[in-house]
C-alpha cells in the first residue's frame, strides 16, 4: 500500500506542476479524472461544480459516466438527503453510499443509477482554502463497495487537488474581471475599451459601412452627488450603463472611461441606422434619464467614420473628436440651463 500511495502522490504532484505551468482548466480536470480512475482501475469519476446562486450542482467533467446519467443529475439541488453528491455538498463532508439500491438518499435516482449500472457512490465536497464550497468529487462502481482507508485517502487527495485547481482559475478570472471591467458598472474600463476600439480599427473583414464612437458625460454630476449623495450618484452611473447596454443590442461595446464619462462603440450598415441610435441615446440618456423621480441628463457627442476610412484614424483621434463634440453639446446644455433660469 505504501508504494501505491507514493505512486498516487507523485501522480497528483504532476498535476499540480501542470497547474503551475498554466495548463487550461478543462485539461487539468481531464488529467485529474484520468489519474484518479487509473489509480482505482474499476471506478468511474465525476466532478460537479456548485452554482452558489441556485444551490445546484452541474457537471464539469465526467467522461466515462453515461451521458443519460449525467443529464439526469444535471442541476440537482443540494440537500441533506439528495443522493451522495447533493448530500456531501449540503453537509460539506464526505458521503459514502456503499449500496445505492439500499440507501434512502437515492430513492429518486435508483432507476437511472441502475440503468447506468452504478451500484455505489463515494462523494466528497470540494472546499476552497476559505472553506467555500466549490462542488463535489465523486467516484462510482458497478458493484456495492465500501472504501478502504487507501481509497478514501485517494478520493480526498483528488478533491483537494481539484480545489486548488478550481481556486487558481477562479482567482485568475477575478483578476481578469478587475483588469477588464469597471467594478461599479461592469462596463469595460478605459484600457479594455480602447483595446476593443483598436480591434475595430484593425478589423478589415467586417462589411458594415460606418463606425460610430459616442462620448457620453452626465450633466452636473458633482451637483447630483452633493445634493443626493454618492450612493444615488452610483445609481445614476449604473442605470446609464444599463441603458447603453440595452441600446447597443449586444453588438456595441460600452465602456466607462472614468468618473461620469462613458463611451459606446457601434457599427452601422447605413447612416439611417446611425441616426436612429443617436436619437435613442438622446431620448433615453440625453434627456430622459429619470431615476427615483430625479431628472438627470447627459451630454452626448460622437464621431462617425466610414469603414473604408477607419484605418486613417487611431484611438486617440477618435476619442478626441467624440470628446470635442460632447463638449460642444455640454456648452449648449449650459446655455439652455442659464436661459431657463
Print the domain residue range for 212. Answer: 190-340
In a structure prediction context, what are the per-residue pLDDT tens digits for the chain, which is 341 residues long? 556 656 666 766 777 777 766 777 888 888 888 889 988 888 999 999 999 999 999 999 999 999 999 999 999 999 999 999 999 999 999 999 999 999 999 999 999 999 999 999 999 999 998 999 999 999 999 999 999 998 999 899 899 989 988 988 888 888 888 889 999 999 999 999 999 999 888 876 777 788 999 999 999 999 999 999 999 999 999 999 999 999 887 678 999 999 999 999 999 989 999 999 999 999 999 887 888 888 889 999 999 999 888 888 889 999 999 999 999 988 887 777 666 65
**pLDDT at residue 308, as a whole number:** 83
What does the alpha-carbon distance between residue 137 and residue 88 come to, in Å, rounded to a whole number?
9
Q: Is there a single domain that holds both residue 159 and residue 196? A: no
Rounded-to-integer distance, Cα 29 and Cα 18, Å: 11
Angle made by CA atoms 54, 59, 62, in degrees to the nearest 5: 165
Q: Is the same domain home to 233 and 273?
A: yes
Residue carrying C-alpha cell 452633493 = 226
Q: What predicted TM-score, i.e. pTM, was given to this entire model?
A: 0.66
- Quote the pLDDT of residue 303: 95
Task: Give the chain's domain count.
Answer: 2
Residues 91 and 134 in one domain: yes
Look at residue 339 in the predicted model and tell me its pLDDT.
Answer: 66
Q: Are 59 and 125 found together in one domain?
A: yes
Task: For residues 327 and 273, state if they share a domain.
Answer: yes
Q: What order do you get walking across the sheet with 44-51 strand by strand?
A: 76-77, 56-61, 44-51, 133-141, 120-127, 95-97
* Distance between CA atoms of residues 298 and 221, nearest Å: 9
Please say which residue of 178, 207, 239 terminates a domain. Answer: 178
**How many CA atoms within 13 Å lie on the side-chain side of 137?**
26
Distance CA 74, CA 291 (A): 41
Specify the CATH number for the domain of residue 162: 3.30.450.40
d(CA 120, CA 10): 27
How high is the pLDDT of residue 4?
Answer: 65
Question: What does the alpha-carbon distance between residue 234 and residue 193 come to, in Å, rounded to a whole number?
Answer: 20
Q: Quick one: pLDDT at residue 244?
A: 93
CATH classification of the domain holding 296: 3.30.70.270
Q: Do 45 and 156 belong to one domain?
A: yes
Domain boundary among 178, 213, 231: 178
User: pLDDT value at position 7?
Assistant: 64
Residue 315 in domain = yes
Q: What are phi and psi of 203, to 5 degrees?
A: -85, 110
Angle value at C-alpha 286, between 285 and 290, nearest 5 degrees: 55
pLDDT for res 336 = 73
Q: Whose grid coordinates read 459616442?
A: 214
User: Which of 158, 178, 198 lies at the terminal end of a domain, its last residue?
Assistant: 178
In a domain, 183, yes or no: no
Amino acid at each position: 500500500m505504501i508504494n501505491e500511495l507514493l505512486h498516487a502522490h507523485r501522480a497528483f504532484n504532476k498535476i499540480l506542476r501542470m497547474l503551475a505551468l498554466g495548463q487550461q482548466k478543462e485539461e487539468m480536470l481531464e488529467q485529474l479524472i484520468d489519474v484518479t480512475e487509473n489509480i482505482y482501475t474499476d471506478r468511474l469519476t465525476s466532478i460537479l461544480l456548485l452554482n452558489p446562486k441556485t444551490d445546484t450542482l452541474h457537471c464539469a467533467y465526467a467522461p466515462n459516466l453515461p451521458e443519460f446519467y449525467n443529464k439526469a443529475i444535471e442541476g440537482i439541488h443540494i440537500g441533506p438527503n439528495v443522493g451522495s453528491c447533493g448530500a456531501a455538498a449540503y453537509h460539506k463532508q464526505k458521503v459514502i453510499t456503499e449500496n445505492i439500491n439500499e440507501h434512502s438518499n437515492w430513492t429518486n435516482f435508483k432507476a437511472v443509477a441502475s440503468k447506468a449500472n452504478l451500484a455505489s457512490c463515494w462523494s466528497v465536497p470540494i472546499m476552497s482554502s476559505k472553506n467555500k464550497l466549490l462542488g463535489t468529487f465523486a467516484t462510482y462502481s458497478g458493484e456495492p463497495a465500501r472504501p478502504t482507508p487507501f481509497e478514501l485517502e485517494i478520493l480526498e487527495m483528488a478533491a483537494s487537488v481539484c480545489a486548488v485547481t478550481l481556486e487558481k482559475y477562479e482567482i485568475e478570472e477575478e483578476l481578469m474581471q478587475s483588469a477588464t471591467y469597471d467594478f461599479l458598472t461592469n462596463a469595460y474600463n478605459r484600457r479594455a475599451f480602447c483595446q476593443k476600439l483598436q480591434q475595430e480599427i484593425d478589423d478589415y473583414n467586417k462589411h458594415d459601412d460606418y463606425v460610430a464612437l459616442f462620448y457620453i458625460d452626465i450633466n452636473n454630476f458633482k451637483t447630483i452627488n452633493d445634493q443626493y449623495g454618492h450612493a444615488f450618484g452610483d445609481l445614476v452611473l449604473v442605470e446609464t450603463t444599463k441603458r447603453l447596454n440595452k441600446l447597443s443590442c449586444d453588438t456595441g461595446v460600452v465602456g466607462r472611461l472614468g468618473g461620469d464619462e462613458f463611451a459606446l462603440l457601434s457599427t452601422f450598415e447605413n447612416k439611417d441606422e446611425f441616426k436612429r441610435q443617436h436619437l435613442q441615446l438622446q431620448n433615453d440618456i440625453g434627456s430622459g434619464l429619470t431615476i427615483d423621480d430625479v431628472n438627470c441628463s447627459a451630454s452626448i457627442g460622437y464621431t462617425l467614420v466610414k469603414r473604408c476610412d477607419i484605418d486613417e484614424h487611431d484611438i486617440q483621434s477618435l476619442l478626441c473628436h467624440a470628446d470635442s463634440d460632447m463638449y460642444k453639446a455640454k456648452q449648449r446644455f449650459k446655455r439652455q440651463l442659464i436661459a431657463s433660469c
